[in-house]
Amino acid sequence: MSKGAMGIALLTLFLLACGLQPVAAQETVMRLDYVVIRESPDGQGRPSRSVIARTRFVAPDGRMRTEDRDAADPNRVLSISISDENRDETILLDPNTKTAVRRRNVRQQAERGIPVFGTFAPVRGEKENLGARTIQGFECQGYRNTFPQGQQTEHWFCVDPQSGRKFLGSMRAQLADGRDWWQEDLQKITRNVPVEPGFFEVPPDFRIEDR
């Protein structure tokens, strides 16, 4: 054992002997900030427009946490979800009821057209390559999907040159009558953002429901 490793081991034993727990190391992640504009009818059938501030935290190993807040009131949290591409699962957290709804086999569900937390993955329909464009300094590749009912989705995926990881640069969803009902655009990328241990895990006081 090296002197450095022995020192860490002795420090850990000392903390445990004193009744203290060693502090887990923070990790750094990439933060992506988006603006989401959603157009949907209200309870009376009238058009309703909402603006969401969306933040995604992406770890090097593929774990991701997405936080949606009211753009007019950043303190108002609308939803929190965490996902792990290696486990192929997505979890939606409800802080009010302390419930975590977990969806496993997300890729398989998306291929079958099953909505995952209210959105459809653009895997069915006619796919068109839109070429490349630059978004926030990153080169992104675009694709348009046209579905049998006439709806269209347009996604622009970028690649981080440092990690090689793909991320969303822009997204549009359009109804058959040509109206946009969902727009999502990348605004800013921040690297090496420190997060606390357990940031990508379900809080211990939450109840997990599998669906």
* pLDDT at residue 67 tops 80: yes
Domains of the chain are: 3-210 (2.50.20.10)
In three-state secondary structure terms, 166 is strand
* pLDDT at residue 149 tops 70: yes
Give the tens place of pLDDT for each residue, 168-181: 999 998 888 877 78
What is the spatial distance between Cα 164 and Cα 86, in angstroms, rounded to a whole number? 16
Q: What is the pTM of this model?
A: 0.76
What's the longest Cα–Cα distance across the chain?
71
Tell me the two tokens of residue 122.
């653009």
Give the tens place of pLDDT for each residue, 90-140: 899 998 899 999 888 666 554 444 334 334 344 455 689 999 999 999 999
Tell me the two tokens of residue 138.
């990153």
% of the chain surpassing 70 pLDDT? 74
Tell me the two tokens of residue 22.
């060693």
Give the tens place of pLDDT for each residue, 38-59: 887 655 666 678 899 999 999 9
CB 178 within 8 A of CB 44: no
* pLDDT at residue 183 tops 60: yes
Tell me the two tokens of residue 43.
């309870």
* H or E, element range at 191: strand 180-195
* pLDDT at residue 4 tops 70: no
Tell me the two tokens of residue 164.
């090689």
165 or 35: which leads in pLDDT: 35
* pLDDT at residue 66 tops 90: yes
